[in-house]
């Protein structure tokens, strides 16, 4: 019978320790650049948008009332303008950033 994964890993590390091989570089050695940060942000906003749309669709299917009822509930909370504009920005930013970054990538 063959060796187990644990034995293979032990053999691998023993061989590397004996040969004094350097460890491969990690992410921390790379200098951050704007395209790298934009790519990470693009992926993050894509994941956030897909989760948001999925949760909104699931809520539309499972919640008992219609959308105007929940909108009236939010309006009855009398939230301040700073909180409302912050929430609007939190909803609009991922969509606009992901869209324009996608257009930039295609161009």
Q: Which residues are documented as binding site for heme?
A: 98
> Which strand (E) or helix (H) includes residue 6?
helix 5-19
Please state, in angstroms and rounded to a whole number, the distance separating the CA atoms of residues 32 and 100.
Answer: 21
With contact defined as beta carbons under 8 Å apart, do 97 and 46 qualify? no
Which residues are annotated as part of the binding site?
98
CA nearest 38: which of 107, 102, 106, 81?
102
Q: Which residues contact 41 (CB under 8 A, 6 or more apart)?
A: 97, 101
């Amino acid at each position: 019978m063959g060796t187990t994964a644990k034995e293979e890993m032990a053999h691998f590390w023993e061989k590397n320790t004996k040969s004094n091989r350097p460890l491969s570089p990690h992410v921390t050695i790379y200098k951050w650049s704007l395209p790298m940060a934009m790519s990470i942000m693009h992926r993050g906003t894509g994941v956030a948008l897909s989760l948001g749309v999925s949760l909104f669709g699931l809520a539309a299917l499972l919640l008992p009332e219609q959308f105007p009822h929940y909108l009236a509930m939010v309006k009855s909370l009398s939230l301040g303008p700073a909180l409302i504009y912050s929430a609007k920005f939190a909803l609009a930013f991922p969509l606009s950033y992901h869209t324009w970054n996608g257009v930039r990538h295609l161009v």
